[in-house]
C-alpha cells in the first residue's frame, strides 16, 4: 500500500480542531468508518452525522475537495488497514518486543504523516535560518530538548544561535531580537505561554518568527510568519503523544541539511571543522 493512500486521513486530523461541531461529526465518521461513507448518498451522510447537507459539503471543501464524490473516491483508495484501526494500540498484555514494535510503527507513521504536511514554508524556513543574523529557539519541557538539539546543530555551522532554560532569560532574549533575526517557537499544543509570549515579543520588534506546532488554529500561529506543522499518531495508554517530538527532530534536521547543501561553500566548511574538533577531543 502506497503511503500516500492515507493522506486524506492526515488532512482530516490536521483540520479537525478548526472544524465546526457538525463538521467534526462528519469527520468522525470518515475517520472511524470510511467504508460506510464510500456507500453513502449525501442525505445518508448528513443523517448519520446528524448535520445538514450543507455541513457535509463545507467539510469536503475544507479538505480541498469539490464535494462528496471526491471524498468517497479518496476514501475508496484507502485500504481498511491504512490507518491502523487500533491494531497498534499498546495494551496491558503486550510483551516488551510487541510494545517496541508498536512504538516503532507510531514513530514511522508520525513521520510519514508529517511529510504530507510539508509545504513551501519549509523552503522559507531554510532561507530564514541561513540568512538570520541571530537565531533563538524557544520551548519548555521536552520541547526544549528539541530546541537544544537545534541550537547544537546550527552552532556547528557558525550561526549565531541560542536557547534558554530560564524563563526570564528567554523572554529578555526575545525582547532583544530585531529585524534580520529569527525567533523559532516549538510547542506541540501551540499554547505554551512562554513560547507564545516570546514570538509575540520578537514579532513586535520586527524579527522573523517561525513556529513548529501541531495545531493550525493555535495561539502560536498568530505570531508566526512561517508555519511548520507536525502530524502525530498515538495509541498509547493515556494518549501521551510519545512520537510527537520525532517529527520535530526530523524537521530540525531538514532545515539543517537544507542550509548545508544550499550554502555548501561556507556552512559546510564550518560544519566539517566542528565535527573534526569533536572527533579530536574524544
Catalogue the long-range contacts made by 238-245 (C-beta closer than 8 Å, 24 or more residues apart). Answer: 241/188, 242/103, 242/106, 243/103, 243/106, 243/107, 243/109, 243/110, 244/110, 244/188, 244/214, 245/142, 245/143, 245/145, 245/146
Class of the CATH-defined domain 3-76 = mainly alpha
Domain 120-280 in CATH 3.40.50.10490? The answer is: yes
Q: Per-residue pLDDT averaged across 131-146, rounded?
A: 96
Provide the CB-side half-sphere exposure for 235 (13 A, CA).
Answer: 21
Quick one: angle between helices 21-32 and 53-62, nearest 10?
70
Instruction: Please give the model's pTM, rounded to 2 decimal places.
Output: 0.80
Q: Is the separation of the CB atoms in 27 and 49 below 8 Å? A: no
52-101 residue pLDDT tens: 999 999 999 999 999 999 999 888 877 544 555 567 788 889 999 999 99
Q: Higher confidence at residue 270 or residue 35?
A: 35
Residue spans in the chain of domains classed CATH 1.10.10.10 = 3-76
For the chain, give every residue range classified as CATH 3.40.50.10490.
Answer: 120-280
Q: How confident is the model at residue 2 (pLDDT cuts 50, 70, 90)?
A: very low
What is the rounded average pLDDT of the residues 175-195?
96
Question: Tens of pLDDT along 101-136?
Answer: 998 988 998 898 899 899 999 999 999 999 999 999
Amino acid at each position: 500500500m502506497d503511503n500516500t493512500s492515507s493522506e486524506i486521513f492526515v488532512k482530516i486530523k490536521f483540520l479537525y480542531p478548526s472544524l465546526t461541531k457538525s463538521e467534526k461529526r462528519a469527520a468522525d465518521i470518515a475517520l472511524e468508518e470510511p467504508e460506510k461513507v464510500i456507500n453513502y448518498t449525501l442525505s445518508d451522510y448528513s443523517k448519520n452525522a446528524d448535520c445538514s447537507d450543507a455541513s457535509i459539503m463545507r467539510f469536503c471543501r475544507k479538505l480541498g475537495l469539490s464535494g462528496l464524490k471526491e471524498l468517497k473516491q479518496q476514501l475508496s483508495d484507502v485500504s481498511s488497514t491504512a490507518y491502523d484501526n487500533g491494531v497498534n494500540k499498546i495494551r496491558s498484555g503486550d510483551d516488551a518486543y510487541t510494545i517496541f514494535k508498536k512504538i516503532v510503527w507510531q514513530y514511522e507513521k508520525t513521520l510519514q504523516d508529517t511529510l504530507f504536511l510539508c509545504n513551501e514554508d519549509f523552503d522559507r524556513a531554510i532561507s530564514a535560518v541561513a540568512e538570520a543574523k541571530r537565531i533563538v529557539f524557544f520551548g519548555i519541557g521536552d520541547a526544549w530538548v528539541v530546541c537544544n538539539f537545534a541550537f547544537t546543530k546550527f552552532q556547528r555551522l557558525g550561526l549565531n544561535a541560542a536557547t534558554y532554560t530560564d524563563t526570564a532569560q528567554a523572554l529578555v532574549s526575545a525582547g532583544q531580537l530585531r529585524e534580520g533575526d529569527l525567533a523559532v517557537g516549538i510547542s506541540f499544543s501551540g499554547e505554551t505561554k512562554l513560547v507564545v509570549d516570546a514570538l509575540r515579543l520578537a514579532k513586535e520588534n520586527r524579527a522573523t518568527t517561525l513556529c513548529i506546532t501541531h495545531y493550525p488554529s493555535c495561539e502560536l500561529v498568530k505570531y508566526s510568519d512561517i508555519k511548520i506543522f507536525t502530524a502525530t499518531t498515538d495509541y498509547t495508554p493515556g494518549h501521551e503523544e510519545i512520537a510527537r517530538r520525532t517529527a520535530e527532530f526530523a524537521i530540525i534536521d531538514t532545515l539543517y541539511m537544507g542550509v548545508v547543501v544550499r550554502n555548501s561553500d561556507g556552512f559546510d566548511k564550518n560544519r566539517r571543522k566542528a565535527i573534526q574538533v569533536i572527533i579530536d577531543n574524544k
